[in-house]
Chains A and B, each alone.
Chain A
């Protein structure tokens, strides 16, 4: 059981960090954010209905992600961001109403606990297989298309002018993200799962200015720190989602501070102009 939790969190952390790197670099964060909360609303609805835990969340999040992804090239970026944030509030409301309408017995179940703050009990063998298969599929996608994705990350318009199908790649990234969010939702909790998407990317950008290393660092950070958070949660008996999110955030802050201190120490001191150059 514990092995399954650590393995799932490592593979899931890797997957969310990798897709998160592209979500962040392609400026799709608000779309992914609202898709994550659509999954939460879907999970709340399926908890009330007692239906399959994947079908409604996956349908809702994929539909939203695809509609927003397809509208992306035509829409004004500001309108798109505001629309995504409106969707975020709307799906949060649906999730909270769904949980409120559940009776107290339902509220105390692992299922609802998983939706809100995550639960290691949500990790089952089929979910572990789902996360592993999706991670494998994403790695194959990366092997085939990484150079084209890099071109899109660097400049969408230029990539499109060179014959790259920018919209297809954006939709592919959104789709991978939506499915990954659905699979990881009940382990980390609907409100915190998004932190596994953007924090590793922030860490990678802080750690190095080399684009080729940023994706690797982001993936490694997600794969190592997510099970570490799960370990602390079991050690301290705290909610797993909150502990993972807190661990990765604190480590990200520590890395940022360490980098700043290292920069200050290694920076050569500014020299005052000599008397000779001053007179010249």
Chain B
């Protein structure tokens, strides 16, 4: 059993003015090198759980630890620098002016100190990740001009280029074609195994390919964890 990377203990999360908590009595420990799938119907609290793990949402009750640090700590940004997040709503307007290279670069620059500029080595890293995800020919294109699938790959590249210890992905295959989906699942599996990274994937569809690589599948319903199949830690 490895170190715990994410720990939720008796967690309740409520949105402002909501009648019911979005998360109720959630207990979940996720260890290093584990690939865990969070599944469940729409509105079951999957995205809320992911954002709670990162400390973007604070628990009303209970504690949430990310890389050994409470997410309510003022220094949580230090732990976040070792994490990457792929949001569910990634689509940009056609007028968005940042290029794919700039967007992937932002992921790298946010973890760098001063001087905060991209080196030759960083550019090489950006190119390699883009190549793996099949978007190396789009690096100089403004992201707003790309299709949904291409944009999603660019966001995934931004998440991976940081080489995070914890990777949190919210519906990462929603706009990607079946062949691409299979390749990305293998890539994430390899990333988790080779680097002992924790990968948390929210997906409302858990097919054979995804089940094959998962260490655990957590099912949610109505803000609660209803089942954990496998060993997440």
Question: Inside 8 A of B78's CB, which chain A residues have their CB?
Answer: 163
Interface positions, chain B 77-91, Cβ under 8 Å from A, are 77-85, 87
The total of Cβ contacts below 8 Å across the A-B interface reads 78
Contact between chains at B87 and A163 (CB < 8 Å): no
Q: A161-B54, A163-B78, A210-B97 are in contact. Are A150 and B106 (CB under 8 A)?
A: yes
Contact between chains at A161 and B95 (CB < 8 Å): no
Q: List 26 A-B contacts (CB under 8 A).
A: A144-B114, A146-B116, A147-B105, A147-B106, A147-B117, A148-B110, A150-B102, A151-B106, A154-B103, A157-B87, A158-B85, A161-B80, A161-B83, A161-B87, A162-B81, A162-B111, A163-B77, A163-B78, A163-B79, A163-B81, A163-B82, A164-B77, A208-B97, A209-B97, A209-B142, A210-B97
Residue of B nearest to A151 (CB): B106
Contact between chains at A209 and B116 (CB < 8 Å): no
Contact between chains at B102 and A212 (CB < 8 Å): yes
Question: Inside 8 A of B80's CB, which chain A residues have their CB?
Answer: 160-163
Chain A to chain B: the 4 pairs with minimum beta-carbon distance, closest first: A163-B81, A163-B80, A147-B109, A161-B85
Q: How far is the CA of A155 from the CA of B98 in the complex (A)?
A: 11
Question: Inside 8 A of A163's CB, which chain B residues have their CB?
Answer: 77-83, 110-111
Q: Which of B95, B106, B162 contacts A154 (CB 8 A)?
A: B106
Residue of A nearest to B105 (CB): A147
Interface positions, chain A 136-185, Cβ under 8 Å from B, are 144-148, 150-151, 154-155, 157-165
Q: Which of A150, A162, A165, A205 contacts B162 (CB 8 A)?
A: A162
Question: Inside 8 A of A129's CB, which chain B residues have their CB?
Answer: none
Question: Inside 8 A of A154's CB, which chain B residues have their CB?
Answer: 96, 98, 103, 106
Q: How far is the CA of A208 from the CA of B98 in the complex (A)?
A: 11
18 additional contacts (CB under 8 A) given A147-B110, A163-B111, A164-B110:
A144-B114, A145-B116, A147-B105, A147-B112, A148-B116, A150-B106, A151-B110, A154-B106, A157-B87, A158-B85, A159-B110, A162-B83, A162-B84, A163-B78, A163-B80, A163-B82, A211-B102, A214-B97
Question: How distant is A225 from chain B, measured CB to nearest CB, in Å?
Answer: 22
Question: How distant is B154 from chain A, measured CB to nearest CB, in Å?
Answer: 11
- Most A CB within 10 A of own CB, among B16, B81, B109: B109
Contact between chains at A165 and B116 (CB < 8 Å): no
Question: Inside 8 A of B99's CB, which chain A residues have their CB?
Answer: 210-211
B197-220: CB near A (< 8 Å → 1, else 0) gives: 000000000000000000000000
Q: How far is the CA of A105 from the CA of B101 in the complex (A)?
A: 61
Q: A163-B80, A163-B81, A211-B102 are in contact. Are A151 and B111 (CB under 8 A)?
A: no
Q: Is B107 an interface residue (CB 8 A)?
A: yes
Residue of B nearest to A213 (CB): B97
